[in-house]
Each structure stands twice: as C-alpha cells, then as structure tokens.
Amino acid sequence: MADVDSRTGTSYLTRPILDYLAATHVPHDEGLARAFTAPCREGLPAIQVGPLEGKLLALLLRLAGAKKVVEVGTLAGYSALHLARALPPDGHLWTIEVDENHARVARENLAAAGMSHRVTVVQGVGLEVLPTLEPHGPFDAVFIDADKVNYDRYGRWAACNLRPGGLLLGDNAVYFGRLLAEEEAAPAMRRFHEEAAVQFDTVCIPTPDGLLLGIKR
C-alpha cells in the first residue's frame, strides 16, 4: 500500500535505511567492492549507480534472458560488473566510456573480478561508437547512464537496435529533480521519456534518481 505522502513524492529512504537494504540484498564481494570504491581511490567522480540499482539492473537482465547488452557510460565499471554477472556464459556486454582514464580503471576492475572475457570496454564518444556496435545486434538490453543532453539520441538508437521484447534502461530519469525545467538537458530528458513511451511499454521506477524501464514492442 501507499499513503498520500508517498504518492505525492515523499521518500522514506534515509541513508541508514539504504545502507541496511544494500547490505542485506547486495553484499559486496571483493570485485564489487573494488569497483564501487574505485572513484574515490582513483580520483574519479563518485557518480556510479548505487548497490540497489546495480542489483536491480542485473535482475532485470536475468528476467529478460539478456545475452547481448550495450551500456552507455562506464565510469569505473561498477554497473558493468553487475550487468556482466547477470549474463549467461555466452553473453557479452559492450560498454562505452568517453574518458580514457575512466576506461582504464574500468578494465582493471573488470579484470580483477574475472569478467574481462565477457565485457568489451570501448573508449570513445557514445554517439560515434554506437553505430560501430550495430553489427553485433540486435541487442537484448541497452542501459544509458551518460551525458544527459544526449539521452534522447541514445534512446532513438536503442529503439532501432533492440530486439522486440528487449529492455531500454535509463538512469537519472528524473534529472536530479529538474525534469520539468527548461534549462540544461531537461528538454532532452523529456524527449527521452516521451519518445520511449511511443515505441516501448514504459514506466519510470522511483529509485532515488529515477530509472526508466521500457520493453520494446
């Protein structure tokens, strides 16, 4: 059930509750811990998905039976590790990272977790790299967690390159509370929502940052 406050946007999640839930449902082994703490250790921005969101992505891939997955925005490889572990032995993840140093750190973390064989980290600009991956498609899932101003363009690529029944996943879907604004990337993010709703069965999951989930018709 929900009450009036939660239906209108009140969140009951606090840091202690989030920490408890993460420890209970997403206990970190050495590989996950290394990737999660890499931003602080390596001087990268600590903007990776949270443990609960990482586990949610993995479970969604397993429910969809995903084998071929594309991620736009690698950072240190934490979400990539969750995605890769959700794939079957013959599955593969292509993850795109614009920053050369971030890509290096991600490769090291994935290698330390024993997932290098299942993940290709492609360093380059997302909109330039995506067309080069098309020969590997159609894909079973596309996860977008990159520059917000291009979310609509990433979404269009996903719509063209996902199989029917494939998953579109977009993090930060409420654009840090500025989704309805007219500044920065908010219009592009709204186009991402609206265009996805035309070609996918969609919902925005109310994670702390909002996660758009679409199933391609």
Domains of the chain (ranges; CATH) run: 14-216 (3.40.50.150)
Q: What is the structure's pLDDT at 87? A: 98
Q: Which residues pair with 213 in a beta bridge?
A: 169, 203
154-170 mean pLDDT: 98
Three state DSSP letters for the chain: CCCHHHHCCCCCCCHHHHHHHHHHHCCCCHHHHHHHHHHHHHCCCCCCCCHHHHHHHHHHHHHHCCCEEEEECCCCCHHHHHHHHCCCCCCEEEEEECCHHHHHHHHHHHHHCCCHHHEEEEECCHHHHHHHHHHHCCEEEEEECCCHHHHHHHHHHHHHHEEEEEEEEEECCCHHHCCCCCCCCHHHHHHHHHHHHHHEEEEEECCCCCEEEEEEC
**Backbone dihedral region of 163: left (phi > 0), alpha (psi from -120 to 50 degrees) or beta?**
beta
- Model pTM above 0.75: yes
When pLDDT is cut at 50, 70 and 90, the band that residue 3 belongs to is confident
Per-residue pLDDT reduced to its tens digit, 103-128: 999 999 999 999 999 999 999 999 99
Q: What is the structure's pLDDT at 7? A: 82
Does position 191 have pLDDT exceeding 70, yes or no? yes
Question: Which single residue is written with the structure tokens 């594309």?
Answer: 70
Report the share of the chain in percent with pLDDT over 70: 99
61-72 mean pLDDT: 98
Q: What is the structure's pLDDT at 35? A: 97
